[in-house]
Structure 1
Amino acid sequence: MQGITIQSGLDSSGSLAGASLEERILGGLDAEQREVASTLTGPLCVLAGAGTGKTRAITHRIAYGVHTGVYSPQRLLAVTFTARAAAEMRSRLRDLGAGNVQARTFHAAALRQLQFFWPQAVGGALPQLLDHKATMIAEAARRLRLSTDRASIRDLAAEIEWAKVSMLTPANYLENAQGRGTPGGFDLTAVARVFQAYEDVKTDRNVIDFEDVLLITVGILQEDAKVAATVREQYRHFVVDEYQDVSPLQQRLLELWLGGREELCVVGDASQTIYSFTGATPEYLLRFRGRYPSANVVKLVRDYRSTPEVVKLANGLLASRRSGGPAADAAWAAPLKLVAQRASGPEPRFMECPDDEAEAAAVAGRIRELLDAGTRASEIAVLFRTNGQSEAFEQALAAAGIGYQLRGGERFFARKEVRDAILQLRAATRAVEGPDAGPLGQLVRDIVRSLGYSDEAPHSGGALRERWESLAALVALADELVAVRGEAFTLAEFVNELQERSVAQHAPTVEGVTLASLHAAKGLEWDAVFLVGLSEGLMPISFADTPESVDEERRLLYVGITRAREQLNLSWSTARTPGGRANRRPSRFLDSLRPDAPAAAGPRKSVGVKRKAAAPASCRVCGSMLSTGAERKVGRCSQCPPSYQEQTFEALRQWRRDEAQSADVPAYVVFTDATLTAIAEARPGNLEELSRLAGVGPSKLERYGEAVLSVLAENGGS
């Protein structure tokens, strides 16, 4: 292929005009990335560590295949897991002269096919797509006369989503969901009934949900050979990003798209599997070579994102994992060992604080130092395990006069000033197009000035500053796109770009410190990252009570560490509130990472708490055998009346509700109904008595013990 030249706009400077195809597209890639980009046929598995340029490698592979004629751009489908990632991929492909290639999420690709094939495969109009399950699940629960609240409905929705992406039905859910606890506070039999009632409600209302989009598409492709043949003729090549996150349902859809062919490239990293609770599994990535014996496997381990100090910490976290037993060890994939490519930077900082308020204040103080030293606010992030932790940091940043954006809050393109700006920009396209329009960046500045934009940021905070930051983000995006696509980039093209980004929720960068959960931070990066609340019970989270779930928490922290380019700060507090009992310990994951930690930290042990005896096998009231786990926890059969005081039990339920909302977790994660009943009936007077109750493990005793005893004391329970 040497000597092939292309005339696309791959290099706006024109400095590579006339260069060979390899130089134009492959010249800036390292050896492993180049191998990925030049392997255009057959099954290909790319194991790509954090920061190793996987998106760069696969977009250059697609562009190289398009420009050499190996791929027809209309016959290649690239799929990923978020609309933002798909939009980013499309943007890069446009810059590489391959803008006709489709890059979509699994759901978007399936919905497009379903809309096209529904009339001929099913007939009639496609049912309306349900945006949220809550209303339908509430209706299903009412039909069954089950009492629910917002938290339990949310948990039931998540469980039904897990069941559907795991390709379970209400009929076989119960036998396949053993060990999943009590979603929404209900036993699995009740969940199966809600699941069936929810499906019935949807049928009655003629609506489908997002999982149905995949399920129905799978059904049509399986049952209608003509439709399947049409799809396989349309798409000859597939690229799947973040392959460690596929669910069984998505994998089945992919197999039907392929129809036995092997033109598939998958990219992923098992060490970044953090969505197992949604049905995602790295199994398909790890066993790819087993399904495709002829597959090429390429490992990307050169980390271009982070300094050697950050990379060392990330590698150390995964390397310090100890055996969790045969099942957990079989599920744990040998991690890729990253090799840092950047120059050396500062050592990661570890900080212990007396309470949550002090930790938030210390983080805000350190952020102020970074801002004063020249770091942009948009290049700083505070990452936490649960959304309930954000409030303290919001208050601390506001008190320090530091702007922030809460990732997961109001969407950028839903803001009034952004909608108004797009309307004005669109209206202006008819008046200012042409050679005399002037530079795009200045044009955008002039148009949005009437909405509150100025060249200098306002000194005040609040709504005025937030409005300015939104408009400044649009101006900065215009400058950025001109730099990439050349001075000929027009206002009309900019408005079209904004429209596409609005649909994909691919927001530009807003100038403010990012506050986000670790899960929401996946796929992002910043110059400076603060990992906060790294104490036992939060990292790992208290309900991670199996070796497999603890391993997932370790991977989640790994994702957090690898978001940092240069500055990494890790902190925790020893008490929840000022003056509170200092009974928190730093996360076990930090034992091998902290410079001041014991050199050979052994397994964590609970201090001063005896191991509880096995739960009773017979009812303490009537002596009959106990048949369920809930009965054994309480020590009483379901036929015998409870012995707790109603006031005490209701006080415990209110405390549990407040605790769950604060930590943004389901109520049953704090304590199940059975455990709460056992506490109310036993009325323990101290931590040792509380620890003897089934369902009160060491981590829950440490996290909630004092609070439970306080509730009991205040309500005459002890």
Structure 2
Amino acid sequence: MSSVIKKTKGPCAILAGAGTGKTYAIVEKVRYILQNKIYPPEKIVCLTFSNEAANALRSRILGILKDDREPAVKTFHSFCADLLRKYGEKIGINPDFKILLPEDAKIILHKNFKIQPYYCHKYTATISTAKDLGISIQDLQEYIDKNPHEDLDKKIEDLQFKLKTFYLKDYDREEKRSLSDTLEKLEKINNLSKFVKAWRAYEKIKAARNMQDYSDLNSKAIILLEKHPEIALEYKYVIVDEFQDTNKLQFDFLKLLAPEKNITVVGDLNQSIYRFRGAYKENFNIFRQYFQTGDSDIFTLAKSFRSPNSVLKTAHKLIENNYSNKQECFFVENAHNRPGEKIEAYELKNAKEETRKIIEIINKELKKGTPEDEICVLFRTHQQSRLLKKSLEYQNINYTAVASRSLFKSPEIKKVLDYLRILDSIRNNKKGSDNPWWDLFHSSGFSEEDLLRLGKFLKDNRDMNNLGQLVLDEDINLSEQGKIKLGLITKRIKSLLPPEENLPKLILRIYETLGLDPEQDKESMLCMHKFHELVQKYSQIESHNLGDFLHHIQIMENLGIEIEAPSAKESGIRIMTQHATKGLEYKAVIVSNLAQKRFPMERINSNSLIPAEISPELKPLLSEVPEAEKDYIIKEYETANQLLEERRLCYVAFTRAKENLYLTYALDYGNKKHYPSQFLNEIDYKKNPEISFVQDLDDRYEEPKLSIKPAASEISKESPKIKFSPSSLLLFDECQKKYEYKYIYNMPEPKPVSWEAIKLGSFVHHVIELGIKNNYRTENEFILLAKSEQAEEEWDFIELDEALPLIKVFFERNRNKYNSSSKTEINLSANISGLNFIGYADRVDFTPSGVEIIDYKTGNSYIQPKARNWQLGFYALAAQEKYGKVYKLTLDMLKKEKPLEFILDEKGNATESGGRMSFNLHEVKEELVSTAQAILGCYKTGFKPCPIEKNCDFCNEYVWGL
């Protein structure tokens, strides 16, 4: 350690194993520099990655300073921002710039350019990655220009049309494959062109609003130092912590910041777990080349002051699998040669039993005196932890979790948003306030009977221009207690109706009107303060208008942007993901879900649009590869690198343990068989002398008790009148509580994120229906009809460029099928086993072979077999009663390569035409009847929530409160 600390001239690389005291080494190096007056404190820069790490390091360094002068201890982004505020005018940057967060960048793309949420995420991720890799808009434009195609949209539309109608012609596999390959290449170029266009527009908005995003801070600091190298001379020594997490741009910045090459970088290649954020794996090698380091400039810290040898030996056995030459992976041992207790590994029957075992381990640790906040349970994803959280609550074990809940879903803020939406709808005479009214009623303590009446009132009047005013004025038939509660709500709303110009003041008025006392509950207080700050920030930057603010919130919800609710919990069992635990340590660590496909995860999530041919990482790999093999090479490379990163993540998890390490996995998750993680096999978990393996296949999990209320008397009266539909049965099959809230309490449907796609589908259905009713026989008639309908106010927002290709595909596929006897939008009802069923089919054609029932699908999503079978099966059962023999059932999926057609035989077997799928009509009938009977049973006994381990979003929010 002494030689590491005294190396203050020239480059120095410290390869530090987990827990080997790298922070201590940094602090001691700074102390040595200051004590020996090698450089003054203000000339030293210490850079790291997170604010928490920077603050921790700064507090340690402050303790060794002799006067007010101190080194710059900051994150890369913060230090670059300071440079730009101080010197940015030299390169034309306004020093008062605002920093644009990634979430705000998504909002800009969605709000200003109507880019769909999926692409907002993809575009912002690609912009950030491109900038971090030093790839510019011009680089992408040059790539596009090398692949020129005139009338690209027209060529893509023509190819899509050919592929979607190819099945109508003689089948030629080679021709089809050629068409598919050409289409894929053109779509890649087209998608890239659209992205570049959006990126240019995004940069213009940023410039107009004086904004810099995170990647700009690095890239523009580089431009600043390139044009004004004298600025770097103000700093004499640079220290970089967690160097393995630097991206290419940050390394380029370091080269300019340390022109005299007085730099120390500290890191652990085995803990590089941020490749998905742009961490560049070659930076250590590039550092050695650029700074010309010799063996005397490279140091290893291999004595751990954290983990015992049992953990360190096992972690080493795991991570050496990342090295082709295992000799390069140096062994880290405990500094005091502490052997430690054996690691305990448990095999459990299923996810519930794994949760039971984790709680047993927690109780064992608590019993032997381990503090709650020294016990940490690690999961690969947040979703995997929900069952444990609920079980800990049930057993009254305190816990605290990273990213535990959304601010907008906390009860007090949800209620405030309901009031804001209701006020906005009444003030501006808007439709569509049934959702906030319903939410408000269900959180206000009304009786079951009153909730039923209020839900029915909202449903019956939801299309009224001003539903809110109607609720205020109408005398709704409620119980006496219900009238009092409703009177209190309407009184509050009336008091808030006079417009309040200042939006933050309106929020405070709502807090006061609702009696939300910030002092009563610390967590509520923190949530209310955070929401008020959000409103203040929005008002200062954007607008004071309530409608604009609510539109902003809606965009955030559409984009899936969640603001974390502050937590007042400071003690308790720690629950977090492996990524979140980096840099932390605990006496007892439990690594859960060590099953293949759960950890390591095998799905590759690449959110980047950057062509592999210009990626600095992939470009050398692909330079000599034939075009036909590139996709395979890229996939193999990404798969291999993901596994390396997952293994490093597992290494990080193991080496958080100061004393005891526990490993758990189940053989079954969600009724799907799982095998032990390959990481367990790599550490030889059944025979390793450092590991005690126990197979615990008992069924001893204790279900959290949940009282299921019997149905209210008014609900029971309704049950004989029910008409079942395939969609309602599928909803019940998916989630009983979701069915209950929708069909009994009349919970309004939330506006879907893909609203535009739904409206497009409605328009295409509308045009097809009119065209068939008029018996149009040419494509041009349908096109003219679409243009005529789109000119009407009801459909003027529809993009014809999206609608016409679907209409053309429909016509080509169906031109010889429909005729003047065809029926459209048919109401199909049937009484099956004494139960009433109802549904709607898009079209019925009458042919010599029998009836064909056709349903159009304009989306691109996968249709589950059960949903398909129940829908088509019901059509057949109902149509048989009404029209006689049914011989064909068709889902005409206009965005797919061909329709899905089932031929029905005399025995009720429906077999896919030209395919392998099938179902039986009699079996479908039994499934429909048994599901309907189960619903009737729930009307009497109550509707059950989904099991926690199912991770049902609806039950997590409305039942389990997760």
TM-score range relative to shorter protein: 0.5 to 0.7
Aligned to 1:316: 317
Matched, 1:528 2:588: yes
Contact 1:81-1:106 at 8 Å conserved across structures: yes
Q: Who is 2:662 aligned against?
A: 569
Counterparts of 2:655 and 2:916, CA distance in 1: 42
- Tell me, in whole angstroms, the C-alpha distance in 2 between the residues paired with 1:526 and 1:678: 54
The answer to whether residue 802 in structure 2 is matched with residue 592 in structure 1 is: no
Among residues 539, 547, 552, which one is paired with 2:640 in the alignment?
Answer: 547
Identify which range, 644-653 or 588-597, moves more after superposition: 644-653
How far is the alpha carbon of 1:221 from its aligned partner? Answer: 2.0
Letter in 1 for 2:575: L
Give the match for residue 559 of structure 1: 652
1:683-717 CA distance string (max 9 Å, x none): 999xx989xxxxxxxxxxxxxxxx9xxxxxxxxxx
The normalised TM-score by structure 1 is: 0.61
Residue 127 (structure 1) aligned with residue 97 (structure 2):
yes
Matched, 1:269 2:268: yes
* Unaligned runs of at least 5 residues, structure 2: 148-184, 411-519, 527-566, 605-637, 690-805, 814-853, 866-892, 903-910, 918-949, 951-962
Aligned to 2:686, the other structure's residue is in SS state coil
Q: Distance in 2 between matches of 1:204 and 1:542?
A: 42
- 1:77 is displaced (CA, Å) by 0.5
Instruction: Check whether the contact 2:310–2:343 (CA below 8 A) recurs between aligned residues.
Output: yes
Any conservation in 2 of the 1:535–1:572 contact (CA below 8 Å)?
A: yes
* Structure 1 spans left out of the alignment, 5+ residues: 1-32, 324-328, 416-462, 470-506, 600-636, 656-673, 691-706, 708-718
CA distance in 1, matches of 2:346, 2:522: 31
What amino acid is aligned across from residue 379 of structure 1 in structure 2? E
Distance 1:380 1:522, change over 3 A: same
240-249 or 290-299: bigger deviation: 290-299
Task: Classify 1:678/1:258 alpha carbon distance in 2 versus 1 (closer, same or farther; 3 Å).
Answer: farther
Alignment of 1:59-138 (within 5 A): 59-97=27-65, 100-122=70-92, 124-130=94-100, 132-138=101-107
Aligned with 1:378: secondary structure? helix
Aligned twin of 2:235:
235
2:255 matched to 1:255?
yes
- 2:323–2:329 contact (8 Å) kept in structure 1: no
Question: Who is 1:34 aligned against?
Answer: 2
1:518 aligned partner, one-letter code: Q
3-state SS of paired residue (1:382): strand
Deviation of the 1:240 alpha carbon: 0.6
Aligned counterparts of 1:552 and 1:403: Cα–Cα separation in 2: 32
Please provide the CA RMSD for this pair.
Answer: 4.2
Task: Out of 537-546 and 549-558, give the one that drifted further.
Answer: 537-546
2:239 and 2:681 mapped to 1: Cα distance?
39
Mapping 1:247-396, distance limit 5 Å: 247-259=247-259, 261-295=260-294, 296-321=297-322, 334-342=328-336, 343-396=338-391
**Native 8 Å contact 1:159 1:183 kept in 2:** no
Conserved? CA contact 2:375–2:587, under 8 Å: yes
The superposition leaves residues 403-431 of structure 1 with CA deviations (integer Å, 9 ceiling, x where unpaired) of 1111245899xx9xxxxxxxxxxxxxxxx
Give the secondary-structure state (helix, strand or coil) at the position aligned to 1:171.
helix
Picking from 147, 166, 170, the partner of 2:133 is: 166
8 Å CA contact 1:273–1:281 kept in 2: the answer is no
Partner of 2:781: none
Q: Tell me how far 1:538 sits from its aligned partner.
A: 1.8
Q: CA deviation at 1:340?
A: 2.1
Specify the code of the residue in structure 2 equivalent to 1:114.
Answer: L
Q: CA deviation at 1:322?
A: 7.5
**Aligned equivalents of 1:385 and 1:378: distance in 2?**
20
**Alignment counterpart, residue 43 of structure 1, candidates 4, 11, 15:** 11
Aligned to 1:217: 221
Using the TM superposition, give the Cα deviation of residue 195 of structure 1 relative to its aligned residue in structure 2, in angstroms.
Answer: 2.7
- Deviation for aligned residue 1:532: 1.1
Listed one character per residue, the Cα deviations across residues 258-287 of structure 1 (whole Å, up to 9, x for unaligned) are: 23x111111111111111111112322234
Structure 2 match to 1:200: 204
Offset of 1:294 from its aligned partner?
Answer: 4.6
Query: Aligned partners of 2:248 and 2:329: how far apart in 1?
Result: 23
Residues 376-426 of structure 1: per-residue CA shift (max 9 Å, x gap)? 1111111111122221221122122121111245899xx9xxxxxxxxxxx
Tell me what 2:418 maps to: none
Following superposition, the deviation at residue 640 of structure 1 comes to 6.4
**Normalising by structure 2, what TM-score?**
0.47
Q: Check 1:143–1:237 CA distance in 2 against 1; reply closer, same or farther (3 A cut).
A: same
Kept in 1: contact 2:303–2:333 (CA 8 A): yes
Amino acid at match of 1:317: L
Give CA-to-partner distance per residue, 1:224-281, whole Å, 9 cap, x none.
x3xx31x22321110011111111111111112123x111111111111111111112
C-alpha distance in 2, partners of 1:175/1:402?
Answer: 59
Out of 505, 514, 518, the residue aligned to residue 574 of structure 2 is 514
Q: 1:160 to 1:574 in 2, by over 3 A?
A: farther
Q: Aligned in 2, Cα 1:189/1:221: closer, same or farther, shift over 3 Å?
A: same
Q: AA paired with 1:232?
A: A
Distance 1:390 1:119, change over 3 A: same
Within 2, Cα distance between the matches of 1:54 and 1:183?
48
Deviation by residue 1:298-327 (Cα, 9 ceiling, x = unmatched)? 11111111011100110010124476xxxx
In the alignment, the residues of structure 1 paired with residue 406 and residue 74 of structure 2 have an alpha-carbon distance, to the nearest angstrom, of 20
- Write 1 or 2 for the structure with the bigger share of strand: 2
How far apart, CA to CA, are the structure 2 residues paired with 1:140 and 1:117?
Answer: 30
Q: What SS does structure 2 have at the residue aligned with 1:591? A: helix
Asked if structure 1 preserves the Cα contact closer than 8 Å seen for 2:400 and 2:569, the reply is no
SS in 2 for 1:103: strand
Change beyond 3 A, Cα 1:682–1:82: farther
Indicate if the aligned counterparts of 1:648 and 1:680 stay in contact, CA closer than 8 A: no
* Residue identity in the other structure for 2:138: A
Report 1:658-673 matches (<5 A).
none
Contact 2:48 2:74 in 1 (8 A): yes
* Partner SS state of residue 346, structure 2: strand
Alignment deviations for residues 14-66 of structure 1 (CA, whole Å, 9 cap, x no partner): xxxxxxxxxxxxxxxxxxx2221122222111111111111101110111110
Q: Check 1:219–1:520 CA distance in 2 against 1; reply closer, same or farther (3 A cut).
A: same
What is the aligned partner in structure 2 of residue 398 from structure 1?
393
Q: Summarize the Cα distance change of 1:45–1:392 in structure 2 as closer, same or farther, 3 Å threshold.
A: same
Q: CA deviation at 1:159?
A: 2.6
- Equivalent residue of 2:215, what SS? helix
**Shift in CA distance, 567/508, structure 1 to aligned 2, threshold 3 Å:** farther
Tell me, what secondary structure is at the counterpart of 1:172?
helix
> In the aligned structure 2, how far is the partner of 1:689 from the partner of 1:139?
46
Q: Distance in 2 between matches of 1:213 and 1:69?
A: 32
SS in 2 for 1:47: strand
Preserved contact between residue 36 and residue 58 of structure 1 (Cα < 8 Å): no
In structure 2, distance between residues paired with 1:406 and 1:182: 46
Residue 338 (structure 1) shift: 1.0
Partner deviation per Cα, 1:191-246 (whole Å, 9 max, x = no partner) = 434333322332343322121122222222222x3xx31x2232111001111111
Q: CA 1:381–1:466 in structure 2 vs 1: closer, same or farther (change >3 Å)?
A: farther
1:482-501 mapped onto 2 (5 Å cutoff): none
Q: Counterpart of 1:702?
A: none
Q: Aligned in 2, Cα 1:119/1:145: closer, same or farther, shift over 3 Å?
A: closer
When residues 267 and 647 of structure 1 are mapped into structure 2, their CA distance, relative to the original with a 3 A threshold, is: same
Deviation at 1:648, TM superposition (A): 10
% identical equivalent positions = 26
Distance 1:678 1:339, change over 3 A: farther
Distance change (3 Å), C-alpha of 1:215 and 1:263? same
| Match in the other structure for 1:52 | 20
Contact 1:530/1:569, CA 8 A, preserved across alignment: yes
